[in-house]
Amino acid sequence: MLGMASEMEIMMQDLAKDVGKLKDHTNYTRWHSRLRRALKQRDSRFWPTLTGANKPPVLHKLYAPDDNVVREGLADQYIVPLESISTDQIADHINKTVHEPNTSLSAWQAIDQKLLPLFLVTLGSHLQFHVRLAKTGSEAYHIIEGMFHGPAKHYVWANWINCTFSAQKTATEFVHRWRRALDEVLYLFENDAPSLTCQLSQFMAAIDGHPGTMSWAREASFDMSDASLMERVFRSFLSRLAKFERAANGLKVHWNI
């Protein structure tokens, strides 16, 4: 028992370290992706059980025969009079032959019991209050999902739309921020994610107005059917901006600016 407890404690500590704490909608996407990855790495059953995709096995009501039927069967089996078969013998027979343990449900419950404490260690203390009545990890997960999934979608979308290229950032810094913002949008929106056309249009809007991007934006031409479109856009953009920045730095040196 002590071995099991210590193993669970170690797993909780490791998970808290790998995932971190959910604070609010601003770090929800990163927390969610880390939690999913960490749980899948530890046990392939953890994540689908937590999210409810892996539901508990249906506990069918088992057929229990009539006591008189069981008494007759036992009397025939042991070749004894009916009245010699006691109610205890009947109950014992039913328990052994009819009410067999549901092993698949027991396995599901063992996983589910681990998930609640594992899930709780990834929540900030102010959020644990909201799931204090949850009896399972899945129940706690859906409470948090209800609180943060919608607001987080609005947050990551606005963060992506508002990520623009300014003179205060290098091209590499901008692309890193913009790509990370897009990744969060793609993660949370999944089936409703923006199309490649929308992604490219938003990138063009994000760089609009920067002096080093105008000629590149006019000349750029890409295959819209290419699944790796945005990676090609980033490489082309960074290559052109590197030339622009080198030229600009050369002018500064020439004029001693």
4 confidence band (pLDDT: 50, 70, 90): low
Asked if 104 and 115 touch (Cβ cutoff 8 Å), the reply is: no
Predicted model pTM: 0.70
The answer to the question of residue 73 being in a domain is yes
Tokens 């809007």 found at = 205
The answer to the question of residue 256 being in a domain is yes
Residue 240 has pLDDT above 60, yes or no: yes
| Distance in angstroms (rounded) separating the CA atoms of residues 237 and 144 | 39
The answer to the question of residue 36 being in a domain is no
Q: ∠161-167-169 over CA atoms, to 5°?
A: 70
pLDDT at residue number 145: 94
Residues 175, 250 share a domain? yes
The answer to the question of residue 147 being in a domain is no
**Is residue 120 within a helix (H) or strand (E), and if so which, with residue range?**
helix 103-120
Which position has the higher pLDDT, 22 or 210?
22
Integer-rounded Cα radius of gyration of the chain: 31
Which residues, 6 or more positions from 62, have their beta carbon under 8 angstroms from its beta carbon?
98, 99, 100
pLDDT in tens, 194-235: 999 999 999 999 998 787 788 888 888 888 888 899 999 999
The answer to the question of residue 156 being in a domain is no
Q: Which amino acid is at 169?
A: K
Residue 253 has pLDDT above 50, yes or no: no
Asked if 181 and 163 touch (Cβ cutoff 8 Å), the reply is: yes
Asked if 144 and 22 touch (Cβ cutoff 8 Å), the reply is: yes
pLDDT in tens, 68-119: 888 888 888 888 898 899 988 888 887 777 655 567 777 888 898 899 999 9
| Distance in angstroms (rounded) separating the CA atoms of residues 121 and 22 | 10
Asked if 22 and 148 touch (Cβ cutoff 8 Å), the reply is: yes
Least confident of 28-32, 145-149, 208-212: 208-212
The answer to the question of residue 204 being in a domain is yes
Provide the number of structural domains found in the chain.
2
Q: ∠152-157-160 over CA atoms, to 5°?
A: 125
| Distance in angstroms (rounded) separating the CA atoms of residues 128 and 50 | 16
| Distance in angstroms (rounded) separating the CA atoms of residues 257 and 255 | 5
- Work out the angle between the directed axes of helices 137-161 and 171-189 (0-180°, nearest 10): 140
pLDDT at residue number 255: 45
Which position has the higher pLDDT, 1 or 162?
162
Asked if 137 and 112 touch (Cβ cutoff 8 Å), the reply is: yes
Could you list the residue range(s) of the whole structural domain that residue 204 is in? 163-257
The answer to the question of residue 128 being in a domain is no
Average pLDDT, rounded, for the chain: 86
The answer to the question of residue 122 being in a domain is no
Residue 257 has pLDDT above 50, yes or no: no
| Distance in angstroms (rounded) separating the CA atoms of residues 233 and 221 | 9
Q: Which of 183, 189, 187, 192 is nearest to 163 (CA)?
A: 183
